[in-house]
Amino acid sequence: MVPLKKLHTFGFDTQAKNLVELKSKDDLVSIFHQLKGSDYYLLGEGSNSIFLEDFSGTVILNKLKGIELKESATHFYLSVASGESWHELVKHTLSIGAFGFENLALIPGTVGAAPIQNIGAYGVEVEQFISTIEYYDIEHSTFCTIEHKDCNFAYRDSIFKHALFNKVLITSVNFSIAKDQAVEQSYAPLNQLIDPTPLEIFNKVIEVRREKLPDPKILGNAGSFFKNPVVSDKILKSIENQYSTVPHFRISANSVKIPAAWLIDQLGFKGKVYSGVKCHERQPLVLVNNGNGNGEGLLMLARQIKQDVQNAFSIELENEVRLVGNSGLIVL
Ligand code: FAD
Ligand code: EPU
């Protein structure tokens, strides 16, 4: 058995039956051939995956490395192997004078996992910079490329969570970054900066994230546990009858996004602990491992939050985090 505690940021003390490190694309065919249809889990840095209990299959740990840079008069083109660290890539782009990634600073995880949920923060989503994605088709043992337009990117969503779910291993992500990329500062508190440079945005994002979010190295967590729900104006109105100041952001003519943190906050979950798993006091959308937490506690707390939000607001929360049980993904 292989310990998983250090391989997922929630830090539950769980194990996997086997682990293989993927260091080269050439190993893919033989790795999947040897698995012969048995259970496996593709793992980057484990910052969006929680191993709730011992996993009876093989963890494939992505260690594919390499960054290639090309440029034209108008663009930088970066081809990045999927096992590279996202935050290190953000720093690298700044160092070469390619701007735009700075709003996504300090998001943990690998480059290969970034397009899967289309990571986003402070007014930027990674899809804005993706031109194509290269992947290994597990069933057909072939290498393929998918264009941005076919990835169906949306808020915390892409084709990799649907039609290509569990079917592919992303090997590299190809980015196209305009040389005249404008700074994005529409989100608070970036909007208070006067004429900021990309480096100032980078520093501010890091400062705000350190204030708001627990550091997984100190307190195990997987970032936002649920997605922010998009609801109809009808639901918004019914909430406004009771809470006139409910925060919301318009998404379309008749739908708005409501911060899940606010919904959870209203129900008094902040600081509540279930078997060592706590709803964080500063940011209730983040569940944390108090150090002695276990998968049962996490499921109890997450299910209670989901149930109470449904009962109080008629909103069904959807988990952003992947929950891994004994033989694969668990539905909340
Ligand atoms: P993992 O957890 O290892 O994997 C995630 C999923 O992708 C799994 O289903 C896995 O099987 C699959 N997968 C991984 N690699 C591959 C691959 N190469 N090919 C195919 N499938 C693969 N997210 C945001 O969007 N915005 C934020 O601001 C943000 N802040 C966070 C803050 C903290 C403190 C933490 C802990 C997390 C945060 N996240 C945020 C979530 C997380 O950082 C992202 O989802 C990140 O992209 C996960 O990368 P990973 O390598 O750790 O993924
Ligand atoms: N709020 C409360 N009580 C609290 C905290 C927040 O009511 O204790 C309300 C406030 O109204 C606040 C709102 O929630 O304005 C939003 O909070 P915050 O700015 O912290 O952002 P979020 O919506 O909770 C989202 C992403 C984060 C991303 C930030 C910044 C999702 C699910 N989460 O969080 O992404 O970093 O915005 O853009 O979309 C992640 O995906 O793991 C993640 C951390």
> For residues 317 and 198, what is the distance between their CA atoms, to the nearest angstrom?
34
Do 12 and 73 sit in the same domain of this protein? no
Task: Quote the pTM value.
Answer: 0.98
CB of 284 within 6 A of ligand 2: the answer is: yes
Do 7 and 77 sit in the same domain of this protein? no
Distance 253 CA to ligand 1 centre (A): 31
Do 83 and 173 sit in the same domain of this protein? yes
- Ligand with smallest separation from the Cα of 55: 1
CB of 57 within 6 A of ligand 2: the answer is: no
- Ligand with smallest separation from the Cα of 266: 2
Ligand 1 proximal residues by C-beta, below 6 Å: 9, 41-49, 62, 82, 107-110, 112-114, 116-117, 119-121, 168-170, 213, 216, 221-223, 322
Q: Where in the sequence numbering do the catalytic residues fall? A: 156, 224, 320
- 88 CB-side CA count, 13 A: 13
The confidence score (pLDDT) of residue 37 equals: 83
> For residues 80 and 112, what is the distance between their CA atoms, to the nearest angstrom?
9
**Whole-number average pLDDT of the chain:** 97
Do 184 and 85 sit in the same domain of this protein? yes
For the chain, what is the domain count? 3
Domain of residue 76: give its range. 67-204
Do 108 and 22 sit in the same domain of this protein? no
The confidence score (pLDDT) of residue 36 equals: 84
Whether 209 maps to a domain, the answer reads no
Do 225 and 245 sit in the same domain of this protein? yes
Do 270 and 297 sit in the same domain of this protein? yes
Whether 276 maps to a domain, the answer reads yes
Whole-number Cα distances in Å, 13 to 4, 76, 217, 245, 291: 7, 42, 14, 41, 9
- Which atom belonging to ligand 2 lies closest to the Cα atom of 228? 32
Give every residue of the chain whose pLDDT is below 50, as ranges.
none
> For residues 73 and 78, what is the distance between their CA atoms, to the nearest angstrom?
14
Do 6 and 53 sit in the same domain of this protein? yes
Do 264 and 318 sit in the same domain of this protein? yes
